[in-house]
Chains A and B, each alone.
Chain A
Amino acid sequence: MRKSARVISSERWPAIRFRVNGEAAAVRVPPMKRLLDVLREDLNLKGTKEGCGEGECGSCSVRMNGELVNSCLVPVLQSEGADIQTVEGLARKGELHPLQKAFLEHGGAQCGICTPGMLMAATQLLAQDSHPGISQIREALAGNLCRCTGFMRIFDAVAATAALEAKPGTGSAVEQASHAR
Protein backbone atom coordinates (compact mmCIF):
# COMPACT_ATOMS: atom_id res chain seq x y z
CA MET A 1 0.00 0.00 0.00
CA ARG A 2 1.44 3.35 -1.05
CA LYS A 3 0.87 6.47 1.00
CA SER A 4 0.84 9.18 -1.66
CA ALA A 5 -2.43 9.67 -3.51
CA ARG A 6 -2.53 9.65 -7.29
CA VAL A 7 -4.00 12.97 -8.34
CA ILE A 8 -5.31 13.52 -11.84
CA SER A 9 -5.78 17.23 -12.33
CA SER A 10 -8.19 19.37 -14.17
CA GLU A 11 -8.87 22.41 -12.05
CA ARG A 12 -12.37 22.71 -13.38
CA TRP A 13 -13.67 19.81 -11.30
CA PRO A 14 -13.44 19.20 -7.56
CA ALA A 15 -11.43 16.14 -6.53
CA ILE A 16 -13.27 12.87 -6.01
CA ARG A 17 -11.41 10.52 -3.70
CA PHE A 18 -11.64 6.77 -3.26
CA ARG A 19 -9.37 3.75 -2.93
CA VAL A 20 -8.51 1.35 -5.73
CA ASN A 21 -6.92 -1.97 -4.85
CA GLY A 22 -5.89 -0.56 -1.48
CA GLU A 23 -4.31 2.58 -2.87
CA ALA A 24 -5.72 6.08 -2.43
CA ALA A 25 -6.78 7.77 -5.64
CA ALA A 26 -8.16 11.21 -6.41
CA VAL A 27 -9.48 12.36 -9.75
CA ARG A 28 -10.68 15.70 -11.05
CA VAL A 29 -13.19 14.68 -13.69
CA PRO A 30 -16.86 15.41 -14.39
CA PRO A 31 -18.83 13.72 -11.58
CA MET A 32 -21.02 11.93 -14.12
CA LYS A 33 -18.00 10.28 -15.74
CA ARG A 34 -18.44 6.53 -15.60
CA LEU A 35 -16.29 4.70 -13.05
CA LEU A 36 -15.33 2.41 -15.95
CA ASP A 37 -13.81 5.31 -17.89
CA VAL A 38 -12.11 6.77 -14.83
CA LEU A 39 -10.43 3.42 -14.13
CA ARG A 40 -9.31 2.97 -17.71
CA GLU A 41 -8.52 6.53 -18.81
CA ASP A 42 -7.57 8.42 -15.67
CA LEU A 43 -6.05 5.65 -13.55
CA ASN A 44 -4.69 3.62 -16.47
CA LEU A 45 -6.20 0.41 -15.12
CA LYS A 46 -7.16 -1.20 -18.41
CA GLY A 47 -8.00 -4.62 -17.03
CA THR A 48 -11.63 -3.63 -16.63
CA LYS A 49 -13.32 -3.95 -20.03
CA GLU A 50 -16.29 -2.41 -21.73
CA GLY A 51 -18.58 -4.78 -23.56
CA CYS A 52 -22.07 -3.35 -23.87
CA GLY A 53 -22.05 -0.14 -21.86
CA GLU A 54 -25.56 -0.86 -20.63
CA GLY A 55 -25.35 -3.26 -17.71
CA GLU A 56 -26.03 -6.41 -19.70
CA CYS A 57 -22.67 -8.12 -20.18
CA GLY A 58 -20.69 -7.80 -16.93
CA SER A 59 -17.29 -7.30 -18.57
CA CYS A 60 -16.91 -4.04 -16.62
CA SER A 61 -17.68 -5.67 -13.22
CA VAL A 62 -15.61 -4.46 -10.29
CA ARG A 63 -16.15 -4.70 -6.55
CA MET A 64 -17.17 -1.55 -4.72
CA ASN A 65 -17.35 -1.66 -0.92
CA GLY A 66 -17.54 -5.43 -1.07
CA GLU A 67 -20.37 -5.55 -3.62
CA LEU A 68 -20.19 -6.45 -7.29
CA VAL A 69 -21.16 -3.53 -9.55
CA ASN A 70 -21.11 -2.83 -13.27
CA SER A 71 -18.70 0.10 -13.49
CA CYS A 72 -20.29 1.29 -16.76
CA LEU A 73 -23.37 2.25 -14.75
CA VAL A 74 -21.65 3.99 -11.82
CA PRO A 75 -21.14 7.76 -12.04
CA VAL A 76 -17.77 8.25 -10.39
CA LEU A 77 -19.18 10.68 -7.81
CA GLN A 78 -21.13 7.74 -6.36
CA SER A 79 -17.77 6.04 -5.72
CA GLU A 80 -16.57 8.87 -3.50
CA GLY A 81 -14.99 7.37 -0.39
CA ALA A 82 -15.49 3.83 -1.66
CA ASP A 83 -13.11 0.90 -1.64
CA ILE A 84 -12.80 -0.44 -5.15
CA GLN A 85 -11.25 -3.69 -6.25
CA THR A 86 -10.46 -4.34 -9.90
CA VAL A 87 -8.94 -7.34 -11.62
CA GLU A 88 -5.51 -5.72 -11.14
CA GLY A 89 -6.02 -6.17 -7.40
CA LEU A 90 -6.30 -9.97 -7.55
CA ALA A 91 -2.68 -11.02 -8.09
CA ARG A 92 -0.36 -10.51 -5.13
CA LYS A 93 3.32 -9.66 -5.71
CA GLY A 94 3.29 -11.17 -9.17
CA GLU A 95 1.59 -14.35 -7.97
CA LEU A 96 -1.74 -15.04 -9.68
CA HIS A 97 -4.85 -15.35 -7.54
CA PRO A 98 -6.12 -18.96 -7.25
CA LEU A 99 -9.11 -18.06 -9.43
CA GLN A 100 -6.80 -16.76 -12.15
CA LYS A 101 -4.74 -19.95 -12.00
CA ALA A 102 -7.89 -22.05 -12.21
CA PHE A 103 -9.14 -20.10 -15.24
CA LEU A 104 -5.81 -20.85 -16.94
CA GLU A 105 -5.84 -24.51 -15.98
CA HIS A 106 -9.44 -25.15 -16.97
CA GLY A 107 -9.47 -23.15 -20.19
CA GLY A 108 -11.81 -20.56 -18.68
CA ALA A 109 -10.43 -17.75 -20.82
CA GLN A 110 -10.04 -17.47 -24.58
CA CYS A 111 -10.18 -13.98 -26.05
CA GLY A 112 -10.18 -12.62 -22.50
CA ILE A 113 -12.68 -9.79 -22.87
CA CYS A 114 -15.11 -11.28 -20.36
CA THR A 115 -12.41 -12.62 -18.07
CA PRO A 116 -11.82 -9.66 -15.73
CA GLY A 117 -15.56 -9.38 -15.10
CA MET A 118 -15.89 -13.14 -14.63
CA LEU A 119 -13.02 -13.10 -12.14
CA MET A 120 -14.56 -10.25 -10.16
CA ALA A 121 -17.99 -11.89 -10.10
CA ALA A 122 -16.39 -15.14 -8.97
CA THR A 123 -14.36 -13.31 -6.32
CA GLN A 124 -17.59 -11.76 -5.05
CA LEU A 125 -19.25 -15.17 -4.88
CA LEU A 126 -16.37 -16.79 -2.99
CA ALA A 127 -16.21 -13.85 -0.57
CA GLN A 128 -19.80 -14.59 0.40
CA ASP A 129 -20.05 -18.34 0.03
CA SER A 130 -16.87 -20.37 0.42
CA HIS A 131 -18.41 -23.57 -0.93
CA PRO A 132 -20.98 -22.71 -3.55
CA GLY A 133 -22.79 -25.41 -5.51
CA ILE A 134 -23.19 -25.25 -9.25
CA SER A 135 -26.48 -23.35 -9.08
CA GLN A 136 -24.89 -20.67 -6.87
CA ILE A 137 -22.01 -20.42 -9.34
CA ARG A 138 -24.40 -20.10 -12.24
CA GLU A 139 -26.45 -17.43 -10.50
CA ALA A 140 -23.36 -15.47 -9.49
CA LEU A 141 -22.12 -15.41 -13.08
CA ALA A 142 -25.51 -15.00 -14.79
CA GLY A 143 -24.81 -11.34 -15.56
CA ASN A 144 -21.46 -12.07 -17.23
CA LEU A 145 -21.57 -13.01 -20.88
CA CYS A 146 -18.86 -14.94 -22.70
CA ARG A 147 -18.81 -15.34 -26.45
CA CYS A 148 -15.94 -17.85 -26.52
CA THR A 149 -15.80 -20.54 -23.89
CA GLY A 150 -19.37 -21.77 -23.69
CA PHE A 151 -19.31 -21.09 -19.92
CA MET A 152 -18.75 -24.66 -18.70
CA ARG A 153 -15.00 -24.22 -18.38
CA ILE A 154 -15.55 -21.02 -16.45
CA PHE A 155 -17.95 -22.76 -14.05
CA ASP A 156 -15.38 -25.56 -13.65
CA ALA A 157 -12.65 -23.06 -12.83
CA VAL A 158 -14.76 -21.41 -10.14
CA ALA A 159 -15.86 -24.75 -8.72
CA ALA A 160 -12.26 -25.96 -8.61
CA THR A 161 -11.15 -22.83 -6.77
CA ALA A 162 -13.98 -23.19 -4.29
CA ALA A 163 -13.02 -26.83 -3.68
CA LEU A 164 -9.41 -25.81 -3.17
CA GLU A 165 -10.31 -23.12 -0.67
CA ALA A 166 -12.93 -25.15 1.18
CA LYS A 167 -11.85 -27.29 4.12
CA PRO A 168 -10.91 -30.84 3.19
CA GLY A 169 -14.00 -33.00 2.82
CA THR A 170 -16.33 -30.15 1.83
CA GLY A 171 -15.15 -29.70 -1.75
CA SER A 172 -18.26 -31.03 -3.43
CA ALA A 173 -18.72 -28.19 -5.89
CA VAL A 174 -16.54 -29.82 -8.55
CA GLU A 175 -18.52 -33.04 -8.37
CA GLN A 176 -21.76 -31.11 -8.68
CA ALA A 177 -20.33 -29.13 -11.59
CA SER A 178 -19.43 -32.22 -13.55
CA HIS A 179 -22.79 -33.85 -12.83
CA ALA A 180 -24.51 -30.83 -14.26
CA ARG A 181 -22.80 -31.10 -17.63
Chain B
Amino acid sequence: MRGDASKHELVAPGRLDAVLDLLASEPGAWTPIAGGTELMVAFCAGRLDAPRLVSLTGIPDLRAIEVRPHSVVIGSAATFLDLRRHTIVGAELPLLARAASWIGSIANQSRATLGGNLVNGSPAADSSPALLAYDAEIEIISVRGRRRVPYSAFHTGYKRNVLSTDELLYAIHLPRRFERHVQYLRKVGTRRAMAIAKVALAATALAEDGVIREIRLAAASLAPFPTRLFGTEAALLGQAVTRETAQSARRALLAEVKPIDDIRSTAEYRRRVAANLLDELLLSLRREGWQR
Protein backbone atom coordinates (compact mmCIF):
# COMPACT_ATOMS: atom_id res chain seq x y z
CA MET B 1 0.00 0.00 0.00
CA ARG B 2 1.32 3.40 -0.91
CA GLY B 3 -1.41 5.74 0.38
CA ASP B 4 -0.62 7.37 3.71
CA ALA B 5 -3.73 7.65 5.90
CA SER B 6 -2.26 10.40 8.06
CA LYS B 7 -2.04 12.66 4.99
CA HIS B 8 -5.83 12.67 4.51
CA GLU B 9 -8.47 14.17 6.70
CA LEU B 10 -11.80 12.33 6.86
CA VAL B 11 -14.92 13.45 8.69
CA ALA B 12 -18.36 11.88 8.95
CA PRO B 13 -20.91 14.48 10.11
CA GLY B 14 -23.79 11.99 9.68
CA ARG B 15 -26.19 14.80 8.72
CA LEU B 16 -26.94 16.09 5.25
CA ASP B 17 -27.06 19.79 6.21
CA ALA B 18 -23.67 19.53 7.91
CA VAL B 19 -22.15 17.94 4.80
CA LEU B 20 -23.63 20.65 2.58
CA ASP B 21 -22.38 23.42 4.89
CA LEU B 22 -18.90 21.97 4.74
CA LEU B 23 -18.94 21.75 0.93
CA ALA B 24 -20.18 25.35 0.71
CA SER B 25 -17.79 26.78 3.30
CA GLU B 26 -14.63 25.96 1.37
CA PRO B 27 -15.50 25.34 -2.26
CA GLY B 28 -13.46 22.55 -3.78
CA ALA B 29 -11.64 21.70 -0.55
CA TRP B 30 -13.75 18.68 0.41
CA THR B 31 -14.32 15.50 -1.56
CA PRO B 32 -17.42 13.44 -0.77
CA ILE B 33 -16.83 9.74 -0.15
CA ALA B 34 -19.73 7.29 -0.28
CA GLY B 35 -18.93 3.57 -0.60
CA GLY B 36 -15.30 4.36 -1.32
CA THR B 37 -14.96 1.66 -3.98
CA GLU B 38 -13.45 4.18 -6.39
CA LEU B 39 -11.69 6.53 -3.98
CA MET B 40 -10.18 3.84 -1.74
CA VAL B 41 -8.74 2.05 -4.75
CA ALA B 42 -7.02 5.31 -5.67
CA PHE B 43 -5.94 5.77 -2.05
CA CYS B 44 -4.43 2.28 -1.87
CA ALA B 45 -2.48 2.96 -5.05
CA GLY B 46 -1.17 6.22 -3.60
CA ARG B 47 -2.92 8.35 -6.21
CA LEU B 48 -5.81 9.82 -4.23
CA ASP B 49 -5.74 13.55 -4.79
CA ALA B 50 -8.14 14.46 -1.98
CA PRO B 51 -6.55 15.83 1.20
CA ARG B 52 -9.93 16.35 2.90
CA LEU B 53 -12.82 13.92 2.61
CA VAL B 54 -16.36 14.02 3.95
CA SER B 55 -18.22 10.74 4.37
CA LEU B 56 -21.80 10.39 3.15
CA THR B 57 -22.45 7.33 5.30
CA GLY B 58 -24.98 7.30 8.10
CA ILE B 59 -27.35 9.78 6.43
CA PRO B 60 -30.66 7.90 6.04
CA ASP B 61 -32.25 10.38 3.51
CA LEU B 62 -29.39 9.75 1.14
CA ARG B 63 -29.83 5.99 1.16
CA ALA B 64 -33.63 5.78 0.96
CA ILE B 65 -35.49 4.22 -1.97
CA GLU B 66 -38.89 5.86 -2.09
CA VAL B 67 -41.74 4.52 -4.21
CA ARG B 68 -44.14 7.28 -5.27
CA PRO B 69 -47.26 6.86 -7.42
CA HIS B 70 -45.48 7.85 -10.63
CA SER B 71 -41.82 7.48 -9.84
CA VAL B 72 -39.20 5.60 -7.88
CA VAL B 73 -36.75 7.92 -6.15
CA ILE B 74 -33.40 6.36 -5.31
CA GLY B 75 -31.14 8.11 -2.81
CA SER B 76 -27.66 8.59 -4.23
CA ALA B 77 -26.04 6.58 -1.43
CA ALA B 78 -28.26 3.52 -1.99
CA THR B 79 -25.95 0.58 -2.60
CA PHE B 80 -26.23 -1.85 -5.47
CA LEU B 81 -27.30 -4.55 -3.01
CA ASP B 82 -30.07 -2.20 -1.79
CA LEU B 83 -31.23 -1.99 -5.42
CA ARG B 84 -31.03 -5.74 -6.00
CA ARG B 85 -33.09 -6.42 -2.88
CA HIS B 86 -35.82 -3.87 -3.61
CA THR B 87 -38.95 -5.60 -4.91
CA ILE B 88 -40.35 -2.66 -6.92
CA VAL B 89 -36.97 -2.00 -8.54
CA GLY B 90 -36.77 -5.69 -9.44
CA ALA B 91 -40.30 -5.79 -10.84
CA GLU B 92 -40.53 -2.46 -12.65
CA LEU B 93 -36.93 -1.50 -13.35
CA PRO B 94 -35.39 -4.89 -14.06
CA LEU B 95 -32.59 -3.44 -16.18
CA LEU B 96 -31.33 -1.49 -13.19
CA ALA B 97 -31.55 -4.52 -10.90
CA ARG B 98 -29.63 -6.55 -13.47
CA ALA B 99 -26.96 -3.87 -13.88
CA ALA B 100 -26.63 -3.74 -10.08
CA SER B 101 -25.85 -7.46 -10.04
CA TRP B 102 -22.92 -6.83 -12.42
CA ILE B 103 -21.06 -4.24 -10.34
CA GLY B 104 -18.12 -6.33 -9.12
CA SER B 105 -18.68 -8.88 -6.38
CA ILE B 106 -21.12 -9.03 -3.45
CA ALA B 107 -18.48 -7.37 -1.24
CA ASN B 108 -18.35 -4.53 -3.76
CA GLN B 109 -22.13 -4.26 -4.18
CA SER B 110 -22.62 -3.98 -0.42
CA ARG B 111 -20.62 -0.73 -0.44
CA ALA B 112 -20.70 0.72 -3.96
CA THR B 113 -23.42 3.34 -4.41
CA LEU B 114 -25.49 4.38 -7.40
CA GLY B 115 -24.50 8.03 -6.89
CA GLY B 116 -20.80 7.13 -6.74
CA ASN B 117 -21.10 5.18 -9.99
CA LEU B 118 -22.66 8.19 -11.75
CA VAL B 119 -20.42 10.90 -10.30
CA ASN B 120 -17.32 8.85 -11.00
CA GLY B 121 -18.61 8.86 -14.56
CA SER B 122 -16.67 6.02 -16.13
CA PRO B 123 -17.67 5.55 -19.79
CA ALA B 124 -18.18 1.88 -18.86
CA ALA B 125 -20.31 2.45 -15.72
CA ASP B 126 -22.80 -0.40 -15.52
CA SER B 127 -25.75 1.52 -14.12
CA SER B 128 -25.62 4.27 -16.73
CA PRO B 129 -27.15 2.62 -19.83
CA ALA B 130 -30.10 1.36 -17.77
CA LEU B 131 -30.71 4.81 -16.25
CA LEU B 132 -30.55 6.45 -19.67
CA ALA B 133 -33.00 3.90 -21.08
CA TYR B 134 -35.37 4.66 -18.20
CA ASP B 135 -35.16 8.40 -18.81
CA ALA B 136 -33.81 9.07 -15.33
CA GLU B 137 -33.65 12.52 -13.81
CA ILE B 138 -30.92 13.59 -11.41
CA GLU B 139 -31.74 15.65 -8.32
CA ILE B 140 -28.89 17.81 -7.09
CA ILE B 141 -28.67 19.50 -3.70
CA SER B 142 -26.59 22.24 -2.10
CA VAL B 143 -27.03 24.98 0.49
CA ARG B 144 -28.42 27.03 -2.41
CA GLY B 145 -31.30 24.59 -2.89
CA ARG B 146 -32.23 21.76 -5.20
CA ARG B 147 -32.27 21.42 -8.96
CA ARG B 148 -32.97 18.68 -11.44
CA VAL B 149 -31.36 17.73 -14.72
CA PRO B 150 -32.16 14.93 -17.13
CA TYR B 151 -29.56 12.18 -16.67
CA SER B 152 -28.84 12.39 -20.42
CA ALA B 153 -27.45 15.90 -19.74
CA PHE B 154 -25.54 15.03 -16.55
CA HIS B 155 -22.23 13.95 -18.08
CA THR B 156 -20.43 16.69 -19.99
CA GLY B 157 -17.14 15.00 -20.92
CA TYR B 158 -14.76 12.26 -19.86
CA LYS B 159 -15.32 12.03 -16.07
CA ARG B 160 -16.92 15.46 -16.09
CA ASN B 161 -20.43 16.38 -15.04
CA VAL B 162 -22.70 19.30 -14.21
CA LEU B 163 -22.11 19.27 -10.42
CA SER B 164 -20.44 22.33 -8.92
CA THR B 165 -18.05 21.98 -6.02
CA ASP B 166 -20.70 22.75 -3.38
CA GLU B 167 -23.24 20.28 -4.77
CA LEU B 168 -24.08 16.67 -4.02
CA LEU B 169 -25.96 14.25 -6.19
CA TYR B 170 -29.03 13.78 -3.99
CA ALA B 171 -31.31 11.31 -5.76
CA ILE B 172 -32.16 9.60 -9.01
CA HIS B 173 -35.78 9.80 -10.18
CA LEU B 174 -37.12 7.04 -12.39
CA PRO B 175 -40.59 7.20 -13.96
CA ARG B 176 -42.86 4.17 -13.37
CA ARG B 177 -44.15 3.78 -16.88
CA PHE B 178 -42.21 1.00 -18.54
CA GLU B 179 -44.47 -1.93 -17.81
CA ARG B 180 -45.55 -2.30 -21.44
CA HIS B 181 -42.15 -1.54 -22.95
CA VAL B 182 -39.73 -4.00 -24.39
CA GLN B 183 -36.69 -3.63 -22.12
CA TYR B 184 -33.25 -4.62 -23.27
CA LEU B 185 -29.82 -4.65 -21.63
CA ARG B 186 -26.74 -6.53 -22.59
CA LYS B 187 -23.17 -6.14 -21.38
CA VAL B 188 -20.23 -7.70 -23.17
CA GLY B 189 -17.19 -8.22 -20.96
CA THR B 190 -14.41 -10.75 -20.53
CA ARG B 191 -16.14 -12.91 -17.94
CA ARG B 192 -19.48 -12.93 -16.21
CA ALA B 193 -18.36 -11.70 -12.80
CA MET B 194 -16.04 -8.80 -11.99
CA ALA B 195 -15.54 -7.58 -15.55
CA ILE B 196 -15.76 -4.05 -16.85
CA ALA B 197 -17.93 -3.64 -19.96
CA LYS B 198 -16.22 -3.65 -23.34
CA VAL B 199 -19.60 -2.55 -24.69
CA ALA B 200 -23.10 -2.37 -23.24
CA LEU B 201 -26.39 -1.43 -24.83
CA ALA B 202 -29.70 -0.71 -23.13
CA ALA B 203 -33.13 0.21 -24.49
CA THR B 204 -36.75 0.70 -23.64
CA ALA B 205 -39.08 0.65 -26.62
CA LEU B 206 -42.76 0.56 -27.38
CA ALA B 207 -44.18 -0.74 -30.64
CA GLU B 208 -47.81 -0.44 -31.74
CA ASP B 209 -49.28 -1.97 -34.89
CA GLY B 210 -45.82 -2.98 -35.94
CA VAL B 211 -44.39 0.52 -35.71
CA ILE B 212 -41.87 1.78 -33.16
CA ARG B 213 -43.69 4.51 -31.24
CA GLU B 214 -41.16 5.17 -28.54
CA ILE B 215 -37.52 4.26 -28.10
CA ARG B 216 -34.65 5.17 -25.81
CA LEU B 217 -31.31 3.65 -26.65
CA ALA B 218 -28.17 4.05 -24.55
CA ALA B 219 -24.64 2.71 -24.55
CA ALA B 220 -21.59 2.29 -22.36
CA SER B 221 -17.99 2.33 -23.61
CA LEU B 222 -18.91 3.78 -26.99
CA ALA B 223 -18.08 7.42 -26.16
CA PRO B 224 -16.07 9.35 -23.54
CA PHE B 225 -19.09 9.11 -21.23
CA PRO B 226 -22.30 7.06 -21.09
CA THR B 227 -24.61 8.36 -23.80
CA ARG B 228 -28.07 8.20 -25.32
CA LEU B 229 -27.85 7.27 -28.99
CA PHE B 230 -30.22 9.95 -30.26
CA GLY B 231 -29.24 9.53 -33.92
CA THR B 232 -29.98 5.82 -33.90
CA GLU B 233 -33.24 6.46 -32.05
CA ALA B 234 -34.25 8.89 -34.80
CA ALA B 235 -33.60 6.22 -37.44
CA LEU B 236 -35.98 3.88 -35.63
CA LEU B 237 -38.78 6.11 -34.41
CA GLY B 238 -42.00 5.81 -36.41
CA GLN B 239 -40.58 2.94 -38.48
CA ALA B 240 -41.69 -0.65 -38.86
CA VAL B 241 -39.02 -3.13 -37.79
CA THR B 242 -37.96 -4.30 -41.23
CA ARG B 243 -34.62 -5.29 -42.67
CA GLU B 244 -34.31 -1.80 -44.21
CA THR B 245 -35.00 -0.13 -40.86
CA ALA B 246 -32.41 -2.35 -39.19
CA GLN B 247 -29.86 -1.42 -41.83
CA SER B 248 -30.43 2.30 -41.59
CA ALA B 249 -30.35 2.10 -37.78
CA ARG B 250 -27.06 0.22 -37.98
CA ARG B 251 -25.62 2.95 -40.19
CA ALA B 252 -26.86 5.64 -37.81
CA LEU B 253 -25.33 3.81 -34.85
CA LEU B 254 -21.93 3.42 -36.53
CA ALA B 255 -22.02 7.09 -37.48
CA GLU B 256 -22.69 8.35 -33.96
CA VAL B 257 -20.57 6.13 -31.69
CA LYS B 258 -16.99 7.10 -30.88
CA PRO B 259 -15.35 4.08 -29.27
CA ILE B 260 -11.64 3.98 -28.51
CA ASP B 261 -8.87 1.38 -28.37
CA ASP B 262 -7.87 0.66 -24.77
CA ILE B 263 -6.60 -2.18 -22.59
CA ARG B 264 -10.00 -3.87 -22.59
CA SER B 265 -10.79 -3.87 -26.28
CA THR B 266 -10.40 -2.18 -29.66
CA ALA B 267 -12.58 0.47 -31.24
CA GLU B 268 -13.29 -1.81 -34.20
CA TYR B 269 -14.45 -4.69 -31.98
CA ARG B 270 -16.67 -2.33 -30.02
CA ARG B 271 -18.30 -0.99 -33.19
CA ARG B 272 -19.05 -4.45 -34.49
CA VAL B 273 -20.39 -5.74 -31.21
CA ALA B 274 -22.51 -2.62 -30.72
CA ALA B 275 -24.07 -3.08 -34.14
CA ASN B 276 -24.76 -6.74 -33.38
CA LEU B 277 -26.38 -5.85 -30.07
CA LEU B 278 -28.62 -3.41 -31.93
CA ASP B 279 -29.66 -6.25 -34.25
CA GLU B 280 -30.42 -8.42 -31.26
CA LEU B 281 -32.55 -5.66 -29.74
CA LEU B 282 -34.49 -5.21 -33.00
CA LEU B 283 -35.08 -8.96 -33.24
CA SER B 284 -36.53 -9.02 -29.75
CA LEU B 285 -38.65 -5.99 -30.63
CA ARG B 286 -40.02 -7.88 -33.64
CA ARG B 287 -40.73 -10.89 -31.53
CA GLU B 288 -42.22 -9.24 -28.47
CA GLY B 289 -43.31 -5.85 -29.73
CA TRP B 290 -46.15 -7.17 -31.77
CA GLN B 291 -47.88 -9.03 -29.02
CA ARG B 292 -48.28 -5.94 -26.87
Interface residues of A, Cβ cutoff 8 Å to B: 29-34, 37, 50, 53-56, 58, 61, 67-70, 72-75, 77-78, 80, 121, 124, 139-140, 142-144
Contacts and interface: CB of A to CB of B under 8 A. Distances in A.
Interface string B29-58: 000010011001101110000000101010
B57 A78 contact: yes
B5 A30 contact: yes
Nearest to B110: A67
17 contacts: A31-B12, A32-B10, A32-B43, A33-B5, A34-B40, A37-B5, A53-B44, A54-B44, A55-B37, A67-B110, A68-B106, A69-B110, A69-B111, A73-B36, A77-B11, A121-B107, A142-B193
Contacts, number: 100
Contact of A72 (B40, B105, B192, B193): B40
B1 A121 contact: no
B44 A78 contact: no
Given A73-B111, A142-B105, 18 more contacts: A30-B6, A31-B10, A32-B8, A32-B9, A32-B10, A33-B5, A55-B107, A56-B194, A68-B106, A73-B37, A74-B111, A75-B10, A124-B106, A139-B106, A139-B193, A140-B106, A143-B107, A144-B105
B242 to A, nearest CB: 39
Contact of A54 (B8, B45, B110, B111): B45
Contacts of B11: 31, 77
Interface in B57-108: 57, 81, 104-108
A93 to B, nearest CB: 28
Interface string B166-196: 0000000000000000000000000011100
A61 B107 contact: yes
B36 A143 contact: no
A54 B107 contact: no
B74 to A, nearest CB: 18
Given A69-B111, A73-B37, A143 B194 contact: yes
A143 B45 CA distance: 20
Contact of A53 (B1, B53, B57, B193): B1
A72 B40 CA distance: 8
Contact of B106 (A74, A77, A121): A121
A67 B105 CA distance: 12
B81 to A, nearest CB: 7
Contacts of B37: 55, 73
List the 7 closest A-B pairs by CB distance, nearest first.
A143-B105, A142-B193, A30-B5, A67-B110, A73-B40, A33-B5, A31-B10
Contacts of B36: 73-75, 78
A142 B194 CA distance: 8
Contact of A78 (B8, B45, B55, B105): B55
Contact of B1 (A34, A58, A143): A34
Contact of B10 (A55, A68, A77, A143): A77
A30 B5 CA distance: 6
A81 B248 CA distance: 58
Which of the listed residues A50, A53, A80 has the most CB atoms from chain B within 10 Å of its own CB?
A: A53
A48 to B, nearest CB: 12
A69 B111 CA distance: 7
Contacts of A34: 1, 5, 40, 44
Contacts of B194: 56, 142-143
Contact of B193 (A70, A75, A80, A143): A143
A83 to B, nearest CB: 14
Contacts of B81: 67
A29 B44 CA distance: 17
Interface string B1-32: 10101101111100000000000000000000
Given A31-B10, A32-B8, A143 B33 contact: no
A21 B73 CA distance: 36
Contacts of A70: 107-108, 111
A115 B193 CA distance: 20
Contacts of B105: 58, 142-144
